[in-house]
């Protein structure tokens, strides 16, 4: 293993930096890779300082760092999907698609270009091979576990994956960074926003990214579940299922977005209890631990990253879809988001909520 060559994705942050140090200590031959991130609003490269930090780590550890511009591919795959989903009344999760197509797609192609056997990253997840399947399981750090975002990565891609932080928590990683002499990186402020959306303001991003925005994104009616008009909305892309703030509608009690009707250009509002359901359907699913599932199987299913998960069972499965039934009511099921299901700490699979 010590002679194997590893391409490591370097963001300039503490996680990938410590991952590089750990790989170096383990004797791997390392090649670094940092992707430029374009600021679509301010029309400039957004992560120049992070690139400098990644280069400093590479220099300290004496390995080459390649700075790559994948803007065209990123735009065609990630940005266009982001725009299409919102304009069709869905709420996308670009990190899931990016992990599948960019980090474990385009990056693997570059790993081949640089003659690397493996691709490593600073994700907080565990990976093992069992029964000829590569299985992702939750990290030791429950607050940083990123398994939710990796459900779509293929078995072939995972066969070449290394996750050096698998057995560590975030506090332990920061301690190691200080020990390795990169305290300044350990103290960097972490970002939880989408990398290409400054200030986590997706609405402003869509305004400058959708051609003829004012012609395509037009006001329509807010209605209640009986069809009564409650007011005017500012365009469907400005709303998502479960949203309460920013509606500017006063009826004497809180209102939530229940549904987006693209054909009628209407936003349906209601009370929180109307957001509840005990059923869920997903499409474009990918299985991780098992190569097939059957009706009646029970799993813990998460409908968003910070969701704790709810017990569910499969009621229907075919090549296109899986349907789940929950034993308790769940709230805010959002088309376009990911539903990810687990058996204990093991990731079973996931799919896009219909």
| Beta-bridge partner residues of 310 | 301
Return the ∠ at Cα 1 (arms to 290 and 66), rounded to 5°: 90
Residue 43 has a pLDDT of: 76
Token pair in block for residue 142: 């429950």
Pairing of strands 44-45, 38-39: antiparallel
Structure tokens at 311: 């017990």
Q: Is the pLDDT of residue 136 over 60?
A: yes
Write out pLDDT tens, residues 10-53: 999 999 999 999 999 999 999 999 999 877 777 778 788 889 99
The rounded distance, in Å, linking the Cα atoms of 345 and 342 is 6
Report residue 163 as tokens. Answer: 């996750």
DSSP characters over 282-306 = EEEEEESS-S---TT-EEEEESSTT
**Buried residues in 301-324 as b, exposed as e (16+ CB within 10 A):** bbbbbebeebebebeebeeeebbb
* Number of CB atoms found within 10 A of residue 239's CB: 22
Whether the predicted model's global pTM rises above the 0.75 cut: yes
Helices (H) and strands (E) in the chain, counts: 11, 19
pLDDT in tens, 159-174: 999 999 999 999 999 9
- Do the Cβ atoms of 7 and 31 come closer than 8 Å? yes
Q: Is 287 left (phi over 0), alpha (psi -120 to 50) or beta?
A: beta
For the stretch 246-303, pLDDT in tens is 999 989 899 999 999 999 999 999 999 999 999 999 999 999 999 999 999 999 999 9
| pLDDT tier at 2, thresholds 50, 70, 90 | low
- What mean pLDDT is reported for the chain? 94
Dihedral angle over CA of 49, 54, 55, 59, nearest 10: 140
Cα dist. 149→242, 243, 305, 306 in Å?
21, 22, 8, 11
CATH 3.20.20.70 assigned to 5-199: no
- Predicted confidence band at 339 (pLDDT cuts at 50, 70, 90)? very high
pLDDT for 322: 98
Q: Is 265 left (phi over 0), alpha (psi -120 to 50) or beta?
A: left
Helix (H/G/I), strand (E/B), else coil: 275? helix
Supply the pLDDT for residue 198.
79
Q: What is the pLDDT of residue 42?
A: 74
Name which of 101, 82, 96 is nearest 240 in CA terms: 82
Catalytic residues: 98, 195
φ, ψ (nearest 5 deg) of residue 58: -60, -40
Quote the CA–CA distance of 112 and 108 in Å, as a whole number: 6
Token couple for 213: 């925005």
Q: Look at the block and give the residue holding tokens 């409908």.
A: 303
Hey, CA dihedral for 339, 344, 345, 349, is it positive or negative? negative
Domain 276-353 has CATH 2.40.30.10: yes
Residue 199's pLDDT band, with cuts at 50, 70 and 90, is confident
pLDDT at position 196 is 84
Paired residues of 277 in beta bridges: 330
CATH number of 218-270: 2.30.30.280
pLDDT digits (tens, 9 = 90+) for 98-117: 999 999 999 999 999 999 99
Distance CA 323, CA 341 (A): 12
Distance CA 329, CA 254 (A): 20
The full set of domain ranges for the chain reads: 5-199, 218-270, 276-353
**How high is the pLDDT of residue 187?**
86
Alpha-helical runs (H) found in the chain: 14-25, 48-61, 71-74, 80-87, 94-98, 107-113, 155-158, 170-179, 183-186, 202-209, 213-216
pLDDT digits (tens, 9 = 90+) for 221-242: 999 999 999 999 999 999 999 9
Mean pLDDT score, 111-125? 97
Asked whether the predicted pLDDT for residue 1 surpasses 80, the reply is no
Q: What's the pLDDT at 3? A: 65
């Amino acid at each position: 293993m010590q002679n194997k060559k590893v391409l490591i994705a370097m963001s300039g942050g503490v996680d990938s930096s410590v991952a590089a140090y750990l790989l170096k200590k383990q004797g791997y031959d390392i090649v670094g890779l940092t992707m430029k991130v374009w600021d679509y609003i301010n029309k400039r490269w957004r992560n120049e300082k992070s690139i400098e930090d990644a280069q400093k780590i590479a220099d300290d550890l004496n390995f080459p760092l390649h700075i790559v511009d994948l803007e065209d591919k990123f735009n065609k795959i990630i940005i266009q999907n982001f725009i299409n989903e919102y304009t069709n009344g869905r709420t996308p999760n670009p990190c899931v698609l990016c992990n599948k197509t960019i980090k474990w797609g385009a990056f693997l192609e570059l790993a081949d270009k640089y003659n690397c056997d493996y691709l490593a990253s600073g994700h907080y997840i565990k990976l093992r091979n069992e029964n000829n399947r590569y299985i992702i399981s939750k990290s030791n750090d429950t607050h940083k576990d990123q398994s939710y975002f990796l459900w779509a990565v293929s078995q072939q891609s995972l066969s070449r994956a290394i996750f050096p932080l698998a057995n560590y928590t975030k506090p332990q990683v920061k301690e190691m960074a200080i020990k390795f002499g990169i305290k300044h990186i350990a103290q960097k402020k972490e970002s939880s926003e989408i990398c290409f959306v400054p200030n986590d303001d997706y609405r402003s991003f869509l305004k400058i990214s959708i051609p003829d925005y004012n012609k395509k994104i037009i006001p329509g009616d807010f209605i209640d579940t009986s069809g009564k008009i409650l007011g005017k909305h500012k365009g469907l892309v400005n709303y998502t299922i479960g949203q309460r703030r920013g509606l500017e509608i006063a009826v004497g009690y809180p209102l939530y977005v229940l549904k987006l009707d693209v054909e009628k250009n209407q936003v349906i509002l209601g009370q929180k209890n109307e957001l509840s359901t005990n059923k869920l359907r997903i499409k474009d699913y990918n299985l991780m631990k098992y190569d097939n599932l059957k009706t009646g199987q029970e799993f813990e299913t998460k409908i968003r990253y910070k969701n704790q998960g709810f017990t569910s069972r499969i009621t229907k499965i075919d090549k296109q879809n899986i349907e789940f039934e929950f034993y308790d009511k769940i709230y805010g099921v959002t088309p376009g988001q990911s539903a990810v299901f687990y058996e204990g700490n093991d990731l079973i699979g996931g799919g896009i909520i219909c």
